[in-house]
Amino acid sequence: MIQSQPLSGRRIVLTRNVEGASRLAGRLKALGAEILEIPLIEVRFDIDGESAVEIFKEFASYEWLIFTSRNGVKHFFNAFLKAYDDIRSLGFVRIAVVGKGTVEALGEYHLRADLVAPSATADDLAKALEDEETLDNLKVLVITGNRNKEDLVKRLWEDRAIVDSLRVYSTHFCDLEGNEEASRFRKEGADALVFASASSVEAFGEQAKHLQLEKGAKVPALCSFGPTTSERMKKAGIPVAVEASDPGLDGMVAALVDYFSGKA
């Protein structure tokens, strides 16, 4: 008989911003988990206005539009639709993305990606583009946040593409002083703590004093959404107990179920 609630009795800490955590929390609760939401980061609309004006003026000249996150999609279209007021103004630009969450975010605008990278790394996305066509003199727009690594832009430049980047959001660290969920975590601990991004790993380090476990608290398994997050965890000296083989909600849920079912 298949257990309908394989996470029953497990307390799981989610460190995403409130909006991002709600979807994952719902999935995990349906599987029996108790959820502590301790948002370590906050994502805000924050566009480089001067660059946006120039980029939108010549938008029709871009051949590829690249998104690497759900936040990038949301905040880009927040600005784009204010400028153009019609999704058809995208014209013939092709869209490349990283991650299932990014694909889903595009779907909210009734758009489909022309290219989805096989995994969430700059090299994989660049290689996927190379497999489509030569990048020499190809004009590309990469949508970013203030903490995005420049690996993808550098790789595309190396492949002789003409690359512009546009910042449309910024990620800020939350202050956990006085946070009730953080206080409970310190006293009781948890079975797992999930990092959904490299930024949340950095924020964890900043807020370490507010997350220090008290004597007798349960030490959680530290979990990663994918290779980029795992890399940042390892650099920070944080052991990775669980990594989603397929970055995104489905992959993280499956990885947690496997781990607590003894299949990992």
Note whether 161 and 78 are same-domain residues.
Answer: yes
For 69-73, 132-136, 180-184, 190-194, which range has the lowest pLDDT when averaged over its residues? 132-136
Q: What are the CA-CA distances from residue 226 to residues 162, 196, 251 (Å)?
A: 29, 8, 9
Are the C-beta atoms of residues 120 and 228 closer than 8 Å to each other? yes
CATH number of the domain residue 166 falls in: 3.40.50.10090
For 16-25, 73-82, 85-94, 101-110, which range has the lowest pLDDT when averaged over its residues? 16-25
Note whether 233 and 152 are same-domain residues.
Answer: no
Average pLDDT, the chain: 90
Q: In the chain, how long is the greatest CA-to-CA distance? A: 60
Are the C-beta atoms of residues 164 and 88 closer than 8 Å to each other? no
Are the C-beta atoms of residues 10 and 34 closer than 8 Å to each other? yes
What does the alpha-carbon distance between residue 38 and residue 207 come to, in Å, rounded to a whole number? 11
Number of domains in the chain: 2
What does the alpha-carbon distance between residue 219 and residue 241 come to, in Å, rounded to a whole number? 12
- Mean pLDDT of the region 1-15: 84
- Mean pLDDT of the region 173-180: 89
Are the C-beta atoms of residues 6 and 260 closer than 8 Å to each other? yes
Tell me, what's the pLDDT at 1?
39
- For 44-82, what is each residue's pLDDT tens digit? 999 988 999 999 999 999 999 999 888 999 999 999 999
Note whether 67 and 143 are same-domain residues.
Answer: yes
Note whether 138 and 208 are same-domain residues.
Answer: no
Note whether 111 and 89 are same-domain residues.
Answer: yes
Looking at 172, 191, 221, which one is the last position of a domain?
A: 172
Looking at 172, 195, 224, which one is the last position of a domain?
A: 172
What does the alpha-carbon distance between residue 189 and residue 56 come to, in Å, rounded to a whole number? 48
DSSP-based three-state secondary structure for 18: helix
- The answer to whether the predicted template modeling score (pTM) of the entire model surpasses 0.85 is no
Are the C-beta atoms of residues 173 and 41 closer than 8 Å to each other? yes
State the residue range of the domain holding 77. 44-172
Tell me, what's the pLDDT at 19?
57
